[in-house]
Amino acid sequence: MKALVLGINTRPVVNSLKKLGFYVYSVSYYAPEDLNADKKYYLINPLSHGRLRENYDENKLIEIADNLADEVDYIFITSGVFEFENSKIPRWDNIVGNEPKKINEISNKYKTYKKLQNLGFNIPETKKINNKTQLYGFLEEFKSCILKPIYGSGGGIIKLESNDFYIDKIINEIKFPIIAQEYIGGKSFSANFIGNTFITFNKQIIIKGMYAGNLTPYINLPKKFIKIFSEAIESFELKGMNGIDFLIKYNEPYIVDINPRILGTYETIEMSASQNLARVLLNNNYAKDFKPKEMYIKRILFAKEKIIANISKRDFVYDIPKKNAVIERGEPIATVIAKENIKSIINDVYRECAEYEERKENRENI
């Protein structure tokens, strides 16, 4: 059997499929050393990563995948594709989960929020902002707010406060239209489903508005939330693996995102349940017996400065870059997933990264 995995980072799904005996094509932006695909197609320069926002080209990935689609039995879709306004939408009949058209529809955050609101689900106060005047008005009403792009997933959010000293400078740099939402403080959570079967709650780790990991499972949440989110999954007619991100206000869940594709929690769920998650995605009947048990923590590590990575392969460390890869400040270095001692593992990874300028000076002085 052959499978294709498409998205920004395909490693977790690819490696699961390899354990099931699949021949796997990976079509991705990143190409970590621990990606076990039989055929790898990627956009990144493994020795000089550059910046994702500047170099990512969704259309190139979709074009490569489209050329391979008829050669495989199954296509698995992860994050970063079909999530933009002008995404190309191919017609593939061998997709595991939601089709590209459905992913694209849900990725229009504003339309999704309006539908959720019309169906009676709680969402933060939300408005589509077309210019600076409207944004100043929204801030005057709510004092602080969250700004999000109309399309996309995984973060990219900005928190604004009306008394921010640099408020005018920030607003002048914003590209409209954009979504503004009332700010709801507190922890961020997600609920994960396969089909309409609830799998787990997760506590999300958000750093500077970006998804940076999660704790799985998170058990201290009311069971009534499951019924609410299950109704949302049914209302949007979602298939396969899906996630609902939410905050809590007045002891009620407020939905802030629906992710209609394979999730960033994939690996912590799989490890916690000690079962192959790709097998469950291929046959959703297995989902009822697929339950996370032990808690795992996932942390995506970002470069604090421009660095040269020399990270050794070992337990608990994933998405390992090529030896001596140059990684820009703010870009991901690697992923750590563990049950305990995670701070120690994170510190070890950072110690294996040399600051680029310091290494450059050392070379010049030889």
256-309 pLDDT per residue, tens: 999 999 999 999 999 999 999 999 999 999 999 999 999 999 999 999 999 999
Closest to 310 in 3D by CA, of 298, 302, 300, 322: 322
User: Could you give the residue range(s) of every CATH 3.30.1490.20 domain in the chain?
Assistant: 125-182
Q: Is the pLDDT of residue 108 over 80?
A: yes
Question: Considering only 115-119, 146-150, 154-158, which range has the smallest mean pLDDT?
Answer: 154-158
Q: Is the pLDDT of residue 42 over 90?
A: yes
For residues 77-94, give the mean pLDDT. 97
131 DSSP 8-state letter: S
DSSP H or E run through 42:
strand 39-42
Confidence of residue 366 (pLDDT cuts 50, 70, 90): very low
User: Could you give the residue range(s) of every CATH 3.30.470.20 domain in the chain?
Assistant: 187-290
User: Could you give the residue range(s) of every CATH 3.40.50 domain in the chain?
Assistant: 2-107
**Cβ-Cβ contacts under 8 Å for 201 (sequence gap 6 or more):** 189, 190, 191, 192, 217, 218, 219, 221, 225
Confidence of residue 365 (pLDDT cuts 50, 70, 90): very low
Task: Compute the distance between CA of residue 196 and CA of residue 237 in angstroms, rounded to an integer.
Answer: 9
The dotted CATH code for 2-107 is 3.40.50
Burial class (CB in 10 A: 0-12, 13-18, 19+), 71: exposed
The model carries a pTM of 0.95
- Give the CATH superfamily of 125-182: ATP-grasp fold, A domain (3.30.1490.20)
Q: Looking at the domain covering 187-290, what would its CATH class be?
A: alpha beta
Confidence of residue 250 (pLDDT cuts 50, 70, 90): very high
Question: Considering only 108-117, 219-228, 276-285, 352-361, which range has the smallest mean pLDDT?
Answer: 352-361
**Cβ-Cβ contacts under 8 Å for 17 (sequence gap 6 or more):** 3, 5, 24, 76, 278
DSSP H or E run through 355:
strand 353-355
Q: Is the pLDDT of residue 360 over 80?
A: no
CB atoms within 10 A of CB 123: 19
Cis-peptide, bond into residue 46, ω within 30° of zero: no
